[in-house]
């Protein structure tokens, strides 16, 4: 246990911290100027602002040196240590994520994974509203899980989307990342769906850089499907945009993929030129060495033994790169990282099982006592049941008439209906409980008694007239949502729309079934049939219900 209880920054403090971080995201390489600009944080009496100073200064040195360096390491670790001393969990998480981004960017995957796993565990201890830049945190977790090919990447990306402005360059990037994750999972249909959404958003906001990246990713799907000519066309567009906006990293990646496809097509006319440009970019940064390895391997294939001297030089260079990658971001390290994540999951599952077993042992000792209490309570309940039934029938009928009259007298609006529906549900639940008690009671109840309760229950269900009034007022308040659904999902029937509109008001399956006079299973089956009809558009429909 912690010596002191962990806390989180206040909402006001978090907003202030976020504003400073966002402002410094585009800082220049001048570290002297950065230190002057951040001096107000260093000299602050607030400990969290001093922590922020160390973290942002570490980012500045990283940008200046553009590689792993001792100055950045010192300030990153200092910010984390001070955050831990402050027992502020929101700061602990952010400083660790900030440092992890640095390690990720410079391909220190083996060093990165243990820190990220710990940070993920800690992020489960607070709500997103208590986190600093939750959208960036969840997006980064998605990046990491993508790197080690873990399927949880998609859930992290989708979580990040909930806290991003839409449309925006950031949300387009996350949509594209979700598509890439589905592609790695061999789910080409979902991959293309998210790539298309990302492309539409990038075009809408005029983000040509993001658009170029998406084109390259779509090319991978065409390549996978065997449509190599279209893949080449998309990649060449990606490269042109990358050259225009001087995005060397993206140009390098797209060029390597293009070179591989041209080899399959046996089109060597421009292959050497493409590899030469990609190799020049890959040689410019130490953290591009995995890409340089691919370039050299492709060059060796193109040479095919025609130039032994050149081939010998390339092989020597390749050996040096492989030795370097073995200790940084090579396949061996990625496999070890993936294993570490699986081990962590296994240990977590084991701990859950252990706790459940302990809980089960304690539960056994209570079972006998619960049985005795149940028998006693059953006898008491039995004697009072008959008295309560008559009283509740009268009360429920009065309540129904009251709310029906209230709805009739009130000027129709969606708030009135919302209150009305909630009271309906409450009364229906009570009636169903009473009916069940009568059916299970040892006492012999007359058929007339049960019939009266059944009639009262039927009267509480949504009538055609009430549904028309409800629909009319729903459209007034949620017209944009209703029109969007009807326009984009013309195959929806009125029965589907009833469920969708009630779910839009945050009613669950049980409450919807109560109002419509059907079972919960009937509601679930209706949704299953709708899912079969809509296919991959089903999830989109229910995302629209939640967010539109």
Total structural domains within the chain: 2
Residue 477 is predicted with a pLDDT of 82
Residue 6 lies in a domain: yes
Phi, psi dihedrals of residue 14, rounded to the nearest 5°: -65, -45
Whether this model's pTM surpasses 0.85: no
**Residue 444 in this model has a pLDDT that exceeds 50:** no
Residue 135 lies in a domain: yes
pLDDT at 118: 92
State the pLDDT at residue 125.
Answer: 92
Residue 487: inside a domain: yes
Instruction: Evaluate whether residue 350 is within a structural domain.
Output: no
Residue 370 has pLDDT above 50, yes or no: yes
| pLDDT > 50? residue 409 | no
CB 290 within 8 A of CB 332: no
What pLDDT score was predicted for residue 270?
86
Q: Where among 93, 114, 144 does a domain terminate?
A: 144
Domain membership flag for residue 496: yes
Does the residue 297 lie in any domain?
no
The confidence band for 407, taking pLDDT boundaries of 50, 70 and 90, is: very low
- Is 79 within 8 Å of 51 (Cβ atoms)? yes
Question: Widest CA span of the chain, in angstroms?
Answer: 102
CATH number of the domain at 29, please.
1.25.40
Q: Which two tokens stand for residue 202?
A: 């990038």
522 lies in some domain: yes
Sequence-distant (6+) residues with CB within 8 A of 514 are 424, 425, 428, 429, 432, 461
Q: Which helix (H) or strand (E) holds 183?
A: helix 169-184
Last residue of a domain, one of 91, 123, 144: 144
Compute the chain's Rg from CA coordinates. 31
Q: Are 179 and 217 in contact (CB under 8 A)?
A: yes
Domain housing 440: 387-547
Count CB neighbours of 228 within 10 A: 16
Query: Strand locations in 384-539, DSSP E?
Result: none
Point out which residues pair with 7 in neighbouring strands. 88
**Rounded CA separation 127/163 (Å):** 12
The answer to the question of residue 518 being in a domain is: yes
269-287 tens-digit pLDDT: 788 899 999 999 999 887 7
pLDDT of residue 82: 95
CA gap 76, 115 in Å, rounded: 13
Tens digit of each residue's pLDDT (9 = 90 or more) over 76-112: 999 999 999 999 999 999 999 999 999 988 878 778 8
**Domain boundary residue, one of 90, 121, 144:** 144
Q: Highest mean pLDDT: which of 89-98, 361-370, 389-398? A: 89-98
Determine contact, residues 76/99, Cβ cutoff 8 Å: yes
130 has a pLDDT exceeding 70: yes
pLDDT the model gives residue 465: 77
């Amino acid at each position: 246990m912690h010596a002191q209880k962990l806390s989180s920054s206040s909402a006001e403090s978090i907003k202030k911290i976020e504003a400073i971080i966002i402002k410094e995201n585009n800082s220049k390489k001048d570290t002297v100027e950065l230190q002057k600009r951040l001096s107000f944080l260093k000299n602050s009496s607030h400990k969290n602002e001093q922590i922020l100073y160390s973290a942002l200064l570490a980012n500045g040195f990283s940008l200046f040196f553009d590689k792993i360096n001792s100055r950045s390491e010192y300030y990153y670790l200092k910010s984390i240590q001070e955050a831990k001393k402050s027992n502020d969990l929101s700061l602990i998480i952010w400083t660790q994520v900030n440092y992890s981004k640095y390690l990720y960017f410079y391909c220190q995957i083996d060093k990165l994974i243990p820190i990220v796993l710990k940070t993920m565990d800690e992020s489960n201890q607070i709500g997103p509203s208590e986190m600093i830049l939750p959208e960036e945190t969840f997006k980064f977790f998605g990046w990491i899980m993508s790197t080690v090919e873990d399927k949880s990447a998609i859930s992290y990306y989708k979580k990040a989307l909930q806290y991003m402005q839409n449309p925006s360059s950031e949300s387009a990037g996350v949509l594209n990342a979700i598509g890439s994750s589905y592609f790695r999972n061999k789910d080409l249909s979902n991959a293309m769906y998210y790539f298309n959404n990302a492309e539409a958003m990038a075009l809408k906001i005029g983000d040509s850089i993001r658009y170029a990246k998406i084109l390259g990713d779509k090319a991978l799907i065409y390549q996978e499907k065997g449509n190599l000519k279209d893949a080449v066309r998309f990649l060449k567009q990606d490269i042109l945009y990358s050259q225009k906006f001087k995005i060397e990293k993206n140009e390098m990646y797209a060029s390597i993929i293009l070179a591989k496809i041209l080899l399959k097509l046996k089109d060597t006319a421009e292959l050497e030129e493409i590899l030469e440009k990609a190799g020049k970019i890959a040689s410019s940064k130490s953290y591009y060495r995995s890409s340089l390895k691919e370039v050299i391997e492709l060059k060796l294939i193109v040479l095919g033994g025609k130039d032994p001297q050149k081939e010998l030089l390339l092989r020597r260079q390749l050996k040096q790169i492989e030795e370097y990658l073995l200790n940084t971001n090579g396949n061996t390290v990625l496999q070890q990282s993936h294993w570490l994540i699986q081990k962590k999951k296994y240990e977590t599952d084991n701990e859950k099982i252990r706790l459940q077993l302990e809980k089960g042992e304690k539960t056994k000792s209570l079972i006998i006592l619960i049985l005795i209490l149940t028998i006693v309570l059953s006898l008491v309940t039995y004697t009072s049941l008959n008295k309560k039934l008559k009283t509740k029938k009268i009360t429920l009928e009065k309540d129904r008439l009251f709310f029906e009259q209230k709805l009739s007298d009130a000027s129709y609006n969606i708030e009135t209906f919302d209150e009305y529906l909630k009271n309906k549900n409450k009364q229906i639940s009570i009636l169903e409980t009473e009916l069940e008690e009568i059916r299970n009671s040892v006492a012999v109840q007359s058929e007339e008694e049960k019939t009266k309760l059944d009639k009262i229950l039927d009267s509480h269900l949504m009538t055609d007239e009430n549904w028309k009034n409800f629909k009319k007022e729903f459209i007034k308040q949620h017209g944009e949502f209703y029109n969007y659904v009807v326009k984009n999902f013309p195959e929806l029937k009125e029965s589907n729309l009833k469920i969708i509109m009630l779910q839009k008001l945050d009613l669950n399956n049980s409450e919807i079934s109560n109002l419509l006079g059907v079972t919960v299973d009937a509601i679930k089956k209706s949704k299953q049939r709708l899912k079969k009809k809509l296919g991959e558009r089903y999830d989109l429909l229910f995302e629209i219900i939640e967010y539109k």
